[in-house]
Structure 1
Amino acid sequence: MEVVAPSLARLEEFFIVLLIIFFMELILVILFFVYRTEVAEYARGDLKLGLRLYESEGNIGLTNAWNIIQTEEYSRGCGEVNPSKWFVQGCYDTIETLLEKQTAVIGSIMMSIVVIQILGMAFSMTLFHQISRTGKKYKA
C-alpha cells in the first residue's frame, strides 16, 4: 500500500495563503481602530440616507428592513396612543451600545480565530519541515 502525503508545494501554498489572510485581517482591524470615528460617521450617514429613502419608489427592500428594525411586535396602531412603546434611543445608538456591551465576546471570538490561524500556520510549517527533512518523495 502506497503512502500518500501532501506535497511540499501544497504545504507551502497553504502556509502562504494563511499568512496572507492573517495579514489582511490584521490590517483590517488596525484600519478599523485608526479610522473608527470615520467609520461611525459613515454608518450614521448611511442610516440617515436610508431613512430619507424610506417608502420611496423602488426601495421596498429598504422600507421592509426599516420596518423590521423598528418593530419588535407589530400590531395595528402600535404606539399611537401609548407613547411608552415609542423607541427613545435611535437605531445607531442602540447598536453601538450593544456592541460596546459585547466587546469581551467579540474580542474573545477574534482572539480564537487568531489562535486557530497561527496554529494552522505552525502545523503546516512543521509538517513541511518534517517532510522535507526525510527527503522522501510522495505522490500527491
Structure 2
Amino acid sequence: MSCLKCLKYTMCAVNFVFFICGSAIFGLGIFLMTTSRFAALLPSLKAMSIANSLFITGIIITCVSFLGFLGSLKENRCLLISFFILLFILMLVELTVACVLLMFEAQVDKSITEDLNKGLKISVKNRHENKTSNDDWDIVHDAFECCGINNASDWMVGEIPKSCCKSIACRQNGTASYWTKGCYTKLKDTFENNLLNAGIGVIVVCVIEVLAMCFSMTLFCHISRPSLQYK
C-alpha cells in the first residue's frame, strides 16, 4: 500500500513538472505567433513554422502530462489507460521517425536541402515585396549564429538579412561581416559531433516514457473499479 502511494505521488510530481514545461512551450509558441510574421522554412510543411511547431508540441506535452497527473491524483482508471495509450502511440511515432531517418538518411538529407532552398527563395521574394520583415530564417540565424543553408551566399546579393550579421556595426551600417557557416550545415555538424549525447538523450526519453507507462499500468491494475481504491 505504501509503495503504491509513493508511486502515485511520484507520478503526480513528474507529470506536474512536464505540465509546467509543456505550458511554457505552448506559451512561447503563442508569443511567437502573435509578435512575428512567419514564412515556413520547409514549404512542403507550410503549417510547421517554428511558432506552430512549438504550439503543437506544447499542446501534446500539456495534454499527456495532465492526463497522467489527474489520473494518478484521482486514481481514475479511464484517465490512466488514456495516458498509457497516448504515451505508447508517441513512442511508436518517435521510433518510426528514427528508423526512417536512419534507413533513408541520404534521401531525407537531399529532400530537406531542396525544401529549405525553396523556403529561402520564398523568404527572399517576401522581403523584396516588403510583405514581411521578420520570419523563421531570422529566428534561426539569431539562435544558431549562422546564415543561410550552407553559407551566406545562399541569399541573393543585396538580400542577405541583418540577422546574418556577426556585429552591431554590420546590422547598422550594412558592413559585410556575416556568419560563415550555414544553419543546416551547422546543425548537422553539431549533431554529428554530439552523436553520443544525442543517442543518450533519445534513450533517456524512451526510458522515461517506458517507466511512465509501467507506473500508470501498475496503478491501473491496483485500482478497483467500483470504489476507485487500491485492492
TM-score, L = length of structure 1? 0.71
Indicate the residue corresponding to 1:138 in structure 2: 228
For the structure 1 residues 115 and 63, does the alpha-carbon distance in structure 2 shift closer, same or farther, using more than 3 Å as the test?
A: closer
Report which stretch shifted further, 123-132 or 48-57.
48-57
The counterpart of 2:90, out of the listed 21, 31, 42, is 21
The counterpart of 1:71, out of the listed 157, 165, 171, is 165
For the structure 1 residues 86 and 20, does the alpha-carbon distance in structure 2 shift closer, same or farther, using more than 3 Å as the test?
A: closer
Q: Distance in 2 between matches of 1:30 and 1:17?
A: 20
**1:64, CA displacement in angstroms?**
6.5
Indicate the residue corresponding to 1:112 in structure 2: 204
The counterpart of 2:108, out of the listed 23, 36, 39, is 39
Which structure is richer in relative contact order (CA contacts within 8 A, separation 6 or more)? 1
Secondary structure of 1:78's partner? coil
Indicate the residue corresponding to 2:121 in structure 1: 52
Report which stretch shifted further, 58-67 or 113-122.
58-67
Percent identity reads 25
Indicate the residue corresponding to 1:82 in structure 2: none
Residue 102, structure 1, aligned to residue 171, structure 2: no
Q: Distance in 1 between matches of 2:207 and 2:136?
A: 41
Q: Distance in 2 between matches of 1:74 and 1:46?
A: 31
**1:114, CA displacement in angstroms?**
0.6
TM-score, L = length of structure 2? 0.47
Asked if structure 2 preserves the Cα contact closer than 8 Å seen for 1:50 and 1:62, the reply is no
**1:115, CA displacement in angstroms?**
0.7
Q: Distance in 2 between matches of 1:91 and 1:49?
A: 15
Report which stretch shifted further, 29-38 or 115-124.
29-38
Amino acid corresponding to residue 216 of structure 2 in structure 1? S
Residue 92, structure 1, aligned to residue 184, structure 2: yes
Note the residue ranges of structure 1 that are not aligned, 5 or more in a row: 80-84
For the structure 1 residues 68 and 28, does the alpha-carbon distance in structure 2 shift closer, same or farther, using more than 3 Å as the test?
A: farther
**1:78, CA displacement in angstroms?**
2.7
Secondary structure of 2:197's partner? helix
Bigger Cα Rg? 1
Asked if structure 2 preserves the Cα contact closer than 8 Å seen for 1:12 and 1:125, the reply is yes
**1:25, CA displacement in angstroms?**
1.3
- C-alpha root-mean-square deviation of aligned residues, in Å? 2.9
For the structure 1 residues 103 and 69, does the alpha-carbon distance in structure 2 shift closer, same or farther, using more than 3 Å as the test?
A: farther
**1:38, CA displacement in angstroms?**
2.3
Asked if structure 1 preserves the Cα contact closer than 8 Å seen for 2:80 and 2:220, the reply is yes
Deviations, residues 83-132 of structure 1 (Å, cap 9, x unaligned): xx565544432222122112222222211111110000111111122224
Q: Distance in 1 between matches of 2:202 and 2:228?
A: 37
Q: Distance in 2 between matches of 1:63 and 1:128?
A: 44
Indicate the residue corresponding to 1:61 in structure 2: 134
